[in-house]
Amino acid sequence: ETVRIRPSGLTGLQSLLAQAWERYHLPLVVTEVHLGCDVEHQIRWLHQCWNSVRAARRQGADVRALTVWS
């Protein structure tokens, strides 16, 4: 439920990817992207994660994959 309400101060995936990249400079993979709800919300969540990965890559992070968990 936390990912659905996003109170102020909650760090998003793009920010977390940037932090991990800046700290470790190792390749990153986002795995098991899943949200237990209806299909519409699952697709929206996957799309948000995909956009975060793309943005992190544009900013120089070496994000190599995004996988889903069904």
Question: How would residue 7 be classed by pLDDT, with cut points 50, 70 and 90?
Answer: low
pLDDT above 90 coverage of the chain, percent: 61
Residue 18 has pLDDT above 70, yes or no: yes
Interatomic CA distance for residues 28 and 48, integer angstroms: 17
Q: Which residues sit opposite 70 in a β-bridge?
A: none
Closest CA to 66 of 57, 58, 38: 57
Q: What is the average pLDDT across 44-67?
A: 95
Q: 28: which strand partners?
A: 63
**Model-level pTM?**
0.80
> For the chain, what percent of residues have pLDDT higher than 70?
86
* Residue 47 CA, distance from chain mean position: 9
